[in-house]
Amino acid sequence: GAVVSQHPSWVICKSGTSVKIECRSLDFQATTMFWYRQFPKQSLMLMATSNEGSKATYEQGVEKDKFLINHASLTLSTLTVTSAHPEDSSFYICSAPRPSGKDTQYFGPGTRLTVL
Amino acid sequence: QKEVEQDPGPLSVPEGAIVSLNCTYSNSAFQYFMWYRQYSRKGPELLMYTYSSGNKEDGRFTAQVDKSSKYISLFIRDSQPSDSATYLCAMSQGAQKLVFGQGTRLTINP
């Protein structure tokens, strides 16, 4: 069935560097993808909606200059955490709407970011 | 007040027990209701999907939605140790944006 992949699954970086996370829909096209952030033992918080061919839509309180989103193609969205700091350490998960038309989504396996 | 409330648990039950998980919500515009299962350090996996009120059954899982009470439930029959995970309820108004509950950590003890 349809699958969403993420790369890398785990990344450690130094404070001040930038990290790019990729989200791919493997056998279906996704004009929209979503990026979530999840802290330990907490729920998923929607960060932004990634739109192919146009700017991403950010949720209130999410810094768009900090979290750069690019939806380069119908199967790829990227999230770049710029000038990362330890407080950016988290589990980042992307999702894409199911092609079936039902209003639900396939989720990627997540990327664990640790900023030292 | 959060849009979606879910008891984070943890909830621990013996193998074979019936598990009841639930969420309440405040936004009457929600029309789509989902339950996701999330294992540690993995992405959520869709378990059940329901549109509007009613019941839906899939194997050992039953989802119930009561829009009049703004209350949804997930029942797991004959629970297995492999069911141990965090269960997240999620809802949407139909614009694809999901609002999640906090998640309930469930442990099934052999």
CA distance A113 to A44: 15
Is pLDDT at A102 greater than 70 in this prediction?
no
What is each CA distance from B18 to A94, B83, B108, in whole angstroms? 32, 12, 10
Separation in Å, CA of B78 to nearest CA in chain A = 26
End-to-end CA distance of chain A: 37
Q: Give the chain A residue whose CA is nearest to the CA of B91.
A: A104
> Do residues B64 and B81 lie in contact, with contact meaning Cβ atoms separated by under 8 Å?
no
CB contact under 8 A, B44 and A43: no
Query: Under 8 Å CB-to-CB from B52, ≥6 apart: which residues?
Result: B31, B65, B67
In the predicted structure, residue B90 carries a pLDDT above the cut 60: yes
A103 or A62, higher pLDDT: A62
The pLDDT tens digits of the residues spanning A22-32 come to 999 998 899 99
CB contact under 8 A, B88 and A44: yes
Q: What is the pLDDT of residue A27?
A: 85
Q: Does A106 touch chain B (CB under 8 A)?
A: yes
Please check whether residue B53 is in contact with residue B47, taking contact to mean a CB–CB distance below 8 angstroms: no
Query: How far are the Cα atoms of A98, A102, B85 from residue B15, in angstroms, in the given order?
Result: 33, 33, 14
Q: How confident is the model over B59-64, as a mean pLDDT? A: 97
* Predicted pLDDT at A103: 62
B85 pLDDT exceeds 60?
A: yes
Positive/negative CA dihedral, A41, A25, A71, A86? positive
